[in-house]
Chains A and B, each alone.
Chain A
Amino acid sequence: MSFPTLQQQAGLEWQAFEQPERFRILIGSATCGRAAGSLEVLQAFESELAKQGLSGVTDIYEVGCLGMCYAEVLVEIRGKDGNRVLYQGVEPRHVPALIDAQLQRDEIYLPLALAVMTEGEEIDLPSFSELPIIKHQVRIVLRNCGIIDPTRLNHYLARGGYSGMAKALAMSPEQVIDEIKESGLRGRGGAGFPTGVKWGFARQSVSDQKYVICNADEGDPGAFMDRSVLEGDPHAVLEGLLIAGYAIGASIGYVYCRAEYPLAIERLQGAIAQMRDQGFLGENILGSGFAFDIKIKKGAGAFVCGEETSLMQSIEGQRGMPRSKPPFPAVAGLFGKPTNINNVETLAAVSAIMEHGGAWYAGYGTEKSRGTKTFALAGKINRTGLVEVPMGISLRTIIEDIGGGVLGGKKFKAVQTGGPSGGCIPAQFIDLPVDYERLAEVGSIMGSGGMIVIDEESCMVDMARYFLTFTENESCGKCVPCRMGTQHLLKILTTITEGKGTLEQLETLRKIGDTMKHASLCGLGQTAANPVLTTLKYYEDEYRAHIEEHTCPAGACRALIQFDIDPASCTGCGACVRACPVEAIRGEKKQPHTIEQQRCIRCGSCRQTCKFGAVLVR
């Protein structure tokens, strides 16, 4: 079948999906939706529809993630009048009322209604595109997430999918590389190297066999952009990988995906099978003479495998240890052959760029950081989720307007970007425009896009210790600066959080960090000290308080704090007594309670439970 015919068929299926006489229910069922209970909601809809005799006239689809994780489970219902209403926080118990209201009585079920998806209707609900979390976004990489059924190739095709591939295959590989160069796209895995230039190197290498690899080993704790794209729109990534293969002259592509993402792997497998069926993989793709195939390799849980040379070792069946460069992978990579590695988000942008043109993409962003970037917004923030914004947007817009500010009205303290390789950006930089250069200027990095909001209750020394626990554990041990450096940093930080540190140790932390930066073999070691160095730079006071006064100003370091009950605000309700796992709280009913300090393990359960704010920490 020719490509235009395929597109036509897909268009028909999409039309039927979009404007039918039938009812339609979309349930956000990516991993986070499922964790919030989307599959139970799905079951409830199926059984309730059957009960109300509507099964025959209603279609249910599982879609990917709209990025509004705070509002999961999200359900979109299109009823009789064609209005599409988005409901939030849906639980199985709400389902009968939802069906009854919108499908039987043509009404909106107001208690859960969040927005109306259809524009221009006279409905007393905000429109989806005007929601504060959506309004500032430009969704290029996430263009289809939560909109299409990711298991249907036709949905992807109908929304312009694979037209970038068709265009690329009609061009010369050099022209494709020029198009990507024009877009200004830089590697979204974290390092920010210009993608077109990288492709150019691999193109120039002469070899009988070349490889392209999609790095889907999203290892940064706190980042889930890649998972969301793979689960919600796998073809966008695979199309990008195929285009990369064509551009550099590779006939085999690998997707190296973390084993912790089973749904992403399932979606990739399904999508690859569909590509084969349609002749998008195999010999002579779309009659262009280009041959290409894609294999999936599951990661096995090693953060260092996000590093290119480690990742390739892992595919070869070795311990995933990095090696020194040169030779660069573009010259000698996987199995010793020229190899190009790009991250998931980069490749999902590539397919969009080939569809709409490099100049279009370059129209977004700042001079040196073009296009958009996805961020995983989490931590102490009201609207957690996944957002895609043009480069250059301010941190304030992301945190306050999109994210709805700090959870529980607490004070904003810092935002952590770049995961264990990044740093903490303190509150005074809230108006900083987000791009590669500006983040680097304040000592952090763009990283892959994790953005963790930290409030006044988080201790910066503890944050640094947390990240070092991670990197110390994940250091592969091949080079001394990283192996010993992470161990010693962690040891010192632990001493400080226990109130046993000395002021001299602060200088030692800086020295070790500096050595690691310059002498480590790979990115893991070179950046592992960043969380320590940035917190030391901006929060030295907090370090000093632990050392000199043996206190943790944020009230987070367990060795240095004590919980007490304020007799004035305690009502004696007994909720804390039931929450305490070690029976450390005593008191008569309706009388102020007390905490027995010898027994208390400082788990904070009482503080979490108390509705009256009577549990104090000092």
Chain B
Amino acid sequence: MTQMPAHNNLESLLAEYGRERDNLIPLLQEVQERFRYLSPEAVQAVANHLDLSENDVYGVATFYAQFRFIPPGQHHVKVCQGTACHVRGSDMIMDAISRTTGIEPGETSADGKFSLERVACFGSCALAPVVVLDDKVYGRMTAAKTQKLIEEKE
């Protein structure tokens, strides 16, 4: 696992936030946005800043689906698992990505190229099934189209 280079900016990020408890989730969100995941060092720094135990911070962070504790891949793929996507075959899409990349949801490939995440619903149900690759939303997908999309990034 490579150390994220910009971690030394963490202090300046923390300094923008007060030490009140209700800053915990916004802080974790910004840390993750900046460094792409929550490293043990980052969690420790957040805990210190808010005068909380690391246990407490992990307790909150692990409760919410948004937070990641391993670095995501170079390309992050999210597959919508909403109802509309389900009835239009999102399971097949998830399988196709797993087959192509060799990883399961929640994992990052060994070469660091891809990571895969299941998301409850993006709210783009009218374009179901939906895949989000590197924050771009692709609607009306099929297993074959998704596979092609992934292969283009390889």
Is A320 touching B64 in the complex (CB atoms < 8 A)?
yes
Is B84 touching A452 in the complex (CB atoms < 8 A)?
yes
Closest residue of A by beta carbon distance from B67: A300
Is A474 touching B120 in the complex (CB atoms < 8 A)?
yes
B81 surroundings in chain A (CB, below 8 A): 221, 470
A280 surroundings in chain B (CB, below 8 A): none
Closest residue of A by beta carbon distance from B93: A603
Is A605 touching B92 in the complex (CB atoms < 8 A)?
yes
Closest chain A CB from B68 CB (angstroms): 11
Is A317 touching B127 in the complex (CB atoms < 8 A)?
no
A298 within 8 Å of B (CB atoms): yes
Chain B 125-154 near chain A by CB (<8 Å), digits 1 or 0: 111101000000111001110010000000
Stretch at the interface among B8-16, B17-25, B107-115: B17-25
Is A260 touching B122 in the complex (CB atoms < 8 A)?
yes
A518 within 8 Å of B (CB atoms): no
A454 surroundings in chain B (CB, below 8 A): 87
Closest residue of B by beta carbon distance from A320: B63
A6 within 8 Å of B (CB atoms): no
A134 and B65 CA atoms in complex are apart in Å by 37
Is A219 touching B89 in the complex (CB atoms < 8 A)?
no
B23 surroundings in chain A (CB, below 8 A): 317
Is B25 touching A319 in the complex (CB atoms < 8 A)?
no
Of the residues A317, A378, A380, A604, contact of B92 by C-beta under 8 Å:
A604
Is A303 touching B126 in the complex (CB atoms < 8 A)?
no
Is B25 touching A379 in the complex (CB atoms < 8 A)?
no
B70 within 8 Å of A (CB atoms): no
A379 and B85 CA atoms in complex are apart in Å by 8
Is A221 touching B83 in the complex (CB atoms < 8 A)?
yes
A365 within 8 Å of B (CB atoms): no
B39 within 8 Å of A (CB atoms): no
Of the residues B59, B92, B127, B144, contact of A72 by C-beta under 8 Å:
B127
Count of interface residues, chain B, beta-carbon cutoff 8 Å: 47
A601 within 8 Å of B (CB atoms): yes
Q: Given A32-B126, A452-B83, A466-B83, do A221 and B92 touch, yes or no (CB 8 Å)?
A: no
Is B137 touching A34 in the complex (CB atoms < 8 A)?
yes
B4 within 8 Å of A (CB atoms): no
Is B123 touching A35 in the complex (CB atoms < 8 A)?
no
Is B147 touching A378 in the complex (CB atoms < 8 A)?
no
- Most central of B26, B127, B142 by chain A CB within 10 Å: B127
A259 and B121 CA atoms in complex are apart in Å by 11
Q: Given A35-B137, A452-B83, A604-B92, do A302 and B65 touch, yes or no (CB 8 Å)?
A: yes
B88 within 8 Å of A (CB atoms): yes
- Most central of B25, B87, B88 by chain A CB within 10 Å: B87
A221 surroundings in chain B (CB, below 8 A): 81-86, 120-121
Q: Given A260-B122, A261-B123, A605-B143, do A35 and B138 touch, yes or no (CB 8 Å)?
A: yes
Is A458 touching B63 in the complex (CB atoms < 8 A)?
no
A384 within 8 Å of B (CB atoms): yes
A302 surroundings in chain B (CB, below 8 A): 63-65
B124 within 8 Å of A (CB atoms): yes
Q: Given A300-B65, A466-B83, A603-B96, do A378 and B128 touch, yes or no (CB 8 Å)?
A: yes
Is A300 touching B137 in the complex (CB atoms < 8 A)?
no
A302 and B62 CA atoms in complex are apart in Å by 11
Stretch at the interface among A160-168, A170-178, A222-230, A429-437: A222-230
Q: Given A35-B130, A605-B144, do A318 and B60 touch, yes or no (CB 8 Å)?
A: yes
Closest chain A CB from B85 CB (angstroms): 8
Closest residue of B by beta carbon distance from A258: B123
Is B84 touching A378 in the complex (CB atoms < 8 A)?
yes
A259 surroundings in chain B (CB, below 8 A): 29, 66
B7 within 8 Å of A (CB atoms): no
Is B139 touching A35 in the complex (CB atoms < 8 A)?
yes
- Most central of A32, A384, A608 by chain B CB within 10 Å: A32
Is B142 touching A317 in the complex (CB atoms < 8 A)?
no
Closest residue of B by beta carbon distance from A34: B137
A579 surroundings in chain B (CB, below 8 A): 144
Is A227 touching B123 in the complex (CB atoms < 8 A)?
yes
Closest residue of A by beta carbon distance from B86: A466
Is A298 touching B125 in the complex (CB atoms < 8 A)?
no
- Most central of B28, B126, B147 by chain A CB within 10 Å: B126
Q: Given A300-B25, A581-B143, do A603 and B126 touch, yes or no (CB 8 Å)?
A: no
Closest residue of B by beta carbon distance from A453: B87
Chain A 367-387 near chain B by CB (<8 Å), digits 1 or 0: 000000000111110001110
Is B84 touching A379 in the complex (CB atoms < 8 A)?
yes
Is A601 touching B29 in the complex (CB atoms < 8 A)?
no
B147 surroundings in chain A (CB, below 8 A): 581
A416 within 8 Å of B (CB atoms): yes
A379 and B96 CA atoms in complex are apart in Å by 21
26 interchain pairs, CB-CB under 8 A: A31-B124, A35-B127, A72-B126, A221-B84, A259-B29, A300-B25, A301-B65, A301-B120, A314-B25, A316-B21, A317-B20, A319-B59, A319-B63, A320-B63, A376-B126, A379-B83, A379-B88, A384-B84, A450-B83, A452-B125, A463-B87, A466-B83, A467-B83, A605-B142, A605-B143, A608-B89
Q: Spell out B's residues near A (CB within 8 Å).
A: 20-26, 28-29, 59-60, 63-67, 81-89, 92, 95-96, 99, 119-128, 130, 137-139, 142-144, 147
Q: A259-B29, A581-B144 are in contact. List 9 more A-B contacts (CB 8 A).
A: A31-B137, A222-B82, A300-B25, A315-B22, A379-B88, A384-B128, A452-B125, A466-B86, A608-B89
| Ranked 8 nearest A-B pairs via Cβ | A69-B126, A301-B65, A222-B83, A300-B64, A224-B123, A221-B82, A317-B24, A378-B84
